[in-house]
Structure 1
């Protein structure tokens, strides 16, 4: 099924809800799906496409959930603006094809390196329209920032992977594109020293918009007006001490695209895990991962790991604290759930939300436990 508008979407879901055993597999562009595909009739959102409002002066854009991400980004570029949270493109990493949609970005709460400064996708999302599992159209938030009121279903829908409702429209606050960017790099073999350097940079007044540790190298990004970036890069290098080099313009941007999209793992064998921990725990996690290849982002709080040898990643993270998502499985972990099982108290809250928004359990059943 491929509804052409919100009314058709609601009717399709109502029809499924009336069918005994009816279930729907919600598909946007299919570029961010992880884990086994849910059972059910495929319901595509690509027909819900188009930018309905873009007001550069109000820093707001509104689009149908099926609108290609590239279309949204191109329109924003015309106005010298961008989505603040640096959307990752994981198609090569996950072995996916297709066209990423803005609704899929929200459903996955997809957020890149700039999250440490600008927040996640959910933090830029100011309004949603969606259809719940009973076929009811629900609106929350607004089309401009001052109209965000009521219960915060906007944040709830971000990262729900289509299990609570099917998005039909999303509204974002946007930000101006910076004039230039530059990156400080330094070889730091000791992960403890790397975390210390990233924490010092992020705690400085110099507005670092990227802090990563890749291949024994710390990378720190600064963006903005040319004069400001030149001053802040120099001041930050002085604060951190000797050994830092500057990468400017295009080469700097390429460094962060590689981190954002985890390009180092693309086409490589092994399972890929996305691990969230306290930044200070990064060195302990890297020790536990042994020979696994890693890319550490968000000042050490996000660790991508490519694991070829048998390793109980969730057991390791359970001892340290945090959670791990299996983004891409291999033969050794084919039966491992993609999403980490929830603690009993959280699971009870989740069950309550699903009972409210999808009482028949027809939306992406089994996807998130």
Structure 2
């Protein structure tokens, strides 16, 4: 099956993947976007490709960075296809930086946990993103990888401690033949009691593997270094005020965007009538650039009078193909290199409805 992954969305989700408790700096986000788009590309539309020979030649920690970043983007795309999740201002947050209050009480702050929490109209779904490079000739293993099984055991135990909380895991493989993903979901009827519905993937595609719901994992079986305190694995089950959670999450995301805006340099123009900061950069970490990347941060949320156009197949900007993603105060663009970078006025004309 084909899972559409937008390169600009991948840059967007990683630009927001900040630990609120640490230093947040626009320059670092842009540098990471340059590095990411130096190795990854989508020249034929939405099919992710990788400069595998360069990736194989680099250090292990860089390979892990590229793989994990790709994993986050692919997991987000998977949530849209699996659960019809829609990106928005209050629909996503990270387990690593849960806001204080009901959300931390419900999920805890230590121990085995997934990566992201997707808010759906009928309940939350947790998502785990993993990414690995693969040197074998075939992109996908014939049988579930031992690391996949181990992580699924941990996630199943986490889910059981939260009354069978819905979850899924995406495992991205990056190899010589391209980029692919294994998606793991609990067996039908074991997705949890919140009424979460699967999308067309379950109906149109048969699973390759069945992994039965495992027994509860003992503390000694967890990864080394993980917190094994009972309070970490058995968080409280109080009723959660969803509005309060989303308000706190929105405030935290707003803090990140405020910091990105403040560290992005001088105001360079306006977008939708709002001052904007940010700059273009060439993805030339491996030599001659194939892409230019833009991360634009708006001073505040647009008024909503002009809605963003959806461009599932990409658009043409100043004579070059581009992939764009506009959500809230953050605009990301990945454009084929060459020619003059489009102005903010051109971006506004192309990206916003009249």
The one of the two structures with greater contact order (alpha-carbon pairs below 8 A, sep at least 6) is 2
TM-score per shorter chain, which class?
under 0.3
TM-score w.r.t. structure 1 length? 0.22
